[in-house]
Amino acid sequence: AQSVTQLDSQVPVFEEAPVELRCNYSSSVSVYLFWYVQYPNQGLQLLLKYLSGSTLVKGINGFEAEFNKSQTSFHLRKPSVHISDTAEYFCAVSEPGGSEKLVFGKGTKLTVNP
Amino acid sequence: DSGVTQTPKHLITATGQRVTLRCSPRSGDLSVYWYQQSLDQGLQFLIQYYNGEERAKGNILERFSAQQFPDLHSELNLSSLELGDSALYFCASSVARGTEAFFGQGTRLTVV
């Protein structure tokens, strides 16, 4: 069975600082990996995805993530955050070729302070 | 706007009652997924339909059921509601395997 661990439940940072949100997954098969963002009282919006190919994936709003198969990680990074990046971030994994249902981590609450 | 529409946005109902949540997927998307988001369980997959047929089942209670209609919209039926069923219920859709899922805004269910 697949599982996702988001190592930090809360990450406070100052505006314009860099940030890394950590995600590790467990799976016995190949995977698709995703990062979603949820703003307060909103649905989930896809930030970026890894399906195959280049292990460095660029997404919206200046975010990027790197797939590391040997460390089973998919950490999310942004070099300089804004107040508007304050939100909850979810890492998710799915199994190619199956139902492709998403298995989510518990989420990381990113708070950007002025 | 993801193109996935969920109604209603909010629902308050009493224990023991039955409710129906509705989802219209993005135009052309054949797959519909239902997820439950609660404080204690996080985001959990409930069930998936593909072109009218059930494809996968997750941790969905027997009191819950779903279906996908010929026009591809889907409904999630929750019956004999309990306080613990209070949660945000999301619908997502995708066009095919190997593509990402787009989420609706969710239906916030409060059972009192």
The DSSP secondary structure of B40-77, one letter per residue, reads: TTEEEEEEEEETTEEEEE-S--TTEEEEE-TTS-EEEE
CB contact under 8 A, B42 and A99: no
- At A98, the pLDDT band (50, 70, 90 cuts) reads confident
pLDDT at A107 exceeding the cut of 80: yes
Phi, psi for A62 (deg, rounded to 5): 80, 5
B49-102: per-residue pLDDT in tens? 999 999 999 989 999 999 999 999 999 999 999 999 999 999 999 987 777 899
CB contact under 8 A, B101 and A102: yes
- Beta strands of chain A (E only): which ranges? 3-6, 10-14, 19-21, 23-26, 32-38, 44-50, 56-58, 64-68, 73-78, 87-94, 103-104, 108-113
Does residue B56 belong to the interface with chain A, where contact is any CB pair within 8 Å? yes
**Distance between CA atoms of residues A54 and A26, nearest Å:** 20
**Distance between CA atoms of residues B76 and B47, nearest Å:** 9
Q: Give the minimum alpha-carbon distance from A55 to chain B in angstroms, rounded to a whole number.
A: 16
For residue A95, the chain B residue with the least C-alpha distance is B98
pLDDT at A28 exceeding the cut of 80: no
pLDDT number for residue A114: 95
pLDDT number for residue A100: 80
pLDDT at B6 exceeding the cut of 80: yes
Q: Give the minimum alpha-carbon distance from A66 to chain B in angstroms, rounded to a whole number.
A: 18
**Stretch 37-96 of chain A: residues touching chain B, C-beta under 8 Å:** 42-46, 49, 51, 90, 92, 96
Least CB–CB distance from B45: residue in A44, A49, A101 = A101
Rg of chain B over all Cα atoms, to the nearest angstrom: 13
How large a percentage of chain A has pLDDT more than 90?
78
